[in-house]
Homo-oligomer: A and B are copies of this chain.
Amino acid sequence: MKITIDEVARRAGVSKATVSRVMNNSKPVKQEKYDRVMQVIEELGFIPNPVARGLAHQKTGLVGVVIPDITNPFFAELVKGIEEVVRDKNYNMVLCNTFHNFEKEMSYLKMLREKYVDGIIFMTAKVTHEHRDFFRSSQLPVTFINRKCEDLNVSSIDIDNYQAAHDITTFFLKRGHRRVAIIRAPLTDKTSGYERFHGYRDAMQAYGIELNASLVMRSNFKIENTYKTVRRFLREEPAVTAIFATSDLMAIGAIKALQDEGIQVPHQVEVAGFDDIPMASYYHPSITTVRQPIAEMGRTATKILIREINGEKVKNRNLILPYQLICRESTLTSKVSGE
């Protein structure tokens, strides 16, 4: 049932080295033998065992992808982009969901370690000491998405979250809004959520408005959580006129909460999100947001990673991609750009 290179060699009347050469085009083989081997391979439907190959090569052809949660459309889109390149380069992707859990994160990293996968694409909220130890001790190429990590020798890809948040906050301020609330993710260390929060804070300050804690909502990555948070918030801060949600999922939770409180979006309260997940254009109302080139980030990260796996020296290995403000129905304005 299981046919191996030896069987092919036997039937073709050559050595297995020759068969290997034929399969990999690694060394010239006389045409006649070449054809004979190829024919036997065809006939038998022989497929070399990738595990054995991996052992000999010290490569598995596997890329590990560690993300918080595949059910978050942002990560799904990212994975889609990653997959396109992974596939194109004849690798496969091992997907690991950490569900924002630090222990899971480390245990996955350990599973993927060393010879197992050839490289890792990694997304996390917080880079701890343990992470650093891990990445420093393992020789694996690693690419971070959605954050940089200067003190580690890893490549990374991100957008300028600070400036984007600054822009979108200013977009509200410019048109007269003063009570602009923000919904932010837990602030761990220098993550995108952290930067977005500071972009908001500084934009407000530029208009002479000091950070007002009562306009800051804390939530996480679940719509449900944001929904509840916003409903509670509205009881205490009915005077709010604009809300900057630091992700589109949060924006959806917020809009739903506003509507359930009988508040019109955008007429009474305007809402903006962040990311531009596909649902942002199809929600009702469609959502004004910061477009990140999500799939593109996934693709580029993977390209960089694979080049590093192949031992190439990549010069520009810490990229900042451009973002774009997309105005839609959740804010009142003549469309500056976008749809």
Contact = CB atoms under 8 A, between A and B. Distances in A.
Nearest to A257: B282
Given A93-B95, A252-B282, A282-B227, A1 B139 contact: yes
B70 A97 contact: no
A124 to B, nearest CB: 17
Contact of A114 (B49, B79, B115): B49
Contact of A93 (B51, B83, B94): B94
Interface string A49-86: 11110110000101000000111010011011001000
A253 B278 contact: no
A304 interface: no
A77 B72 CA distance: 9
Contact of A223 (B83, B139, B259, B282): B282
A102 interface: no
Interface string A22-45: 000000000000000000000001
A47 B95 contact: no
A14 B320 CA distance: 53
B47 A51 contact: no
A49 B278 contact: no
A83 to B, nearest CB: 5
A184 B195 CA distance: 44
A253 B95 CA distance: 30
A83 B95 contact: yes
B94 A94 contact: yes
Interface string A198-242: 000000000000000000000000011001000000000000000
A51 B282 contact: no
B80 A76 contact: no
Contact of A70 (B79, B137, B279): B79
A187 interface: no
Nearest to A84: B97
A20 interface: no
A126 interface: no
A60 B227 CA distance: 43
A284 B93 CA distance: 36
Nearest to A83: B97
Contacts of A259: 284
> 6 tightest CB-CB pairs across the interface, nearest first?
A95-B95, A51-B54, A71-B76, A49-B115, A223-B282, A70-B76
27 contacts: A47-B114, A49-B115, A50-B116, A51-B54, A51-B116, A55-B55, A62-B94, A69-B80, A71-B77, A71-B80, A80-B97, A83-B95, A83-B97, A87-B104, A92-B94, A92-B112, A93-B94, A94-B94, A94-B95, A223-B278, A223-B282, A252-B279, A255-B284, A256-B282, A279-B279, A283-B284, A284-B284
Given A47-B114, A71-B80, A255-B284, 19 more contacts: A1-B139, A45-B137, A47-B110, A50-B116, A51-B51, A51-B54, A51-B115, A70-B79, A70-B80, A71-B278, A76-B76, A80-B97, A83-B95, A92-B112, A93-B96, A223-B278, A253-B282, A256-B282, A256-B284
